[in-house]
Amino acid sequence: MANKSTKISLAFVLPLLFFAFFSSCSARIDGTFGGGGAADLTIRTSLEPRTLALIRSLQNFMGEEADDPVLDANAIGRSIAAVPGAGRVSLRNTSPSALEGIISISSVENFLTLGESRFIHYARGAQGASSIVILMERNSAPQLISLLSPEVVEYLSSLFAPVVTGDTSTRQEYLELVSSIYGRPLADEIAAARIAVRIEFPGPISAVQGGSFSGRRAEFNIPLVDILVLENPLRYEVRW
């Protein structure tokens, strides 16, 4: 956390679904997925108290201003807009550690594409049947992490997140490690953090993996620690 670019990059990883929830945060995402592969997401996210305190202590140690936003909505918007497949971005701060706004994805097929690697697979089948699959696993995680700045990787390493360090710890082993270094309250905060997602699709949903559905709406409640550890591959699929 040596300079303001660190905070910008850290802020960028917090509010985005399925590819960058690499800190202890609470988030709510409501979205609409279009038949042509575009999507609009409404984001609300904030840092949890213990994580905020840890970041503030690091900022103070490095001599940064205590009243500087930890989540800078303007900087986050610029960062997200530069991601492959992203469209219009409009975010605002509701507090120094919270933000909300709209993120448009122009093409989910190209979103976060790195060479031949894709984390999102969108297929339009015969007779209008379609599906979208999001897959994260330990083998592909380093490619995703490579999209982040060195400062973010350094921060995540300070949390000993296996998704960054390459360690094969289980979920419980990871939380015990965080507890031994930063204390049980922070470990409990990470364990309790969830990413709540609700997405409307173009047609009636026929099947969902990793969540639930009703009509055209799919809902997911994703434990943050599952992403930090990736003890098991995370696969989310919607068919409609």
How far apart CA 104 and CA 189 sit, in angstroms, is 30
pTM for the model: 0.77
Q: Say which residue the tokens 């984390």 belong to.
A: 119
- More confidently predicted of 107 and 12: 107
Q: What is the pLDDT of residues 84-96, one digit of tens each?
A: 788 888 988 888 7
Q: Are 159 and 178 in contact (CB under 8 A)?
A: yes
How far apart CA 133 and CA 156 sit, in angstroms, is 26
pLDDT category at 177 given cuts 50, 70, 90 is very high
Q: What is the pLDDT of residues 40-86, one digit of tens each?
A: 989 888 777 777 776 666 666 555 555 666 667 777 777 778 777 88
- Helix/strand/coil for 225: helix
pLDDT category at 13 given cuts 50, 70, 90 is very low
* Helix ranges, the chain (H): 4-13, 49-61, 73-81, 141-145, 150-158, 162-165, 171-182, 184-192, 224-229
How far apart CA 233 and CA 117 sit, in angstroms, is 16
Q: Domain limits of the chain?
A: 4-239
Q: Say which residue the tokens 């971005």 belong to.
A: 89
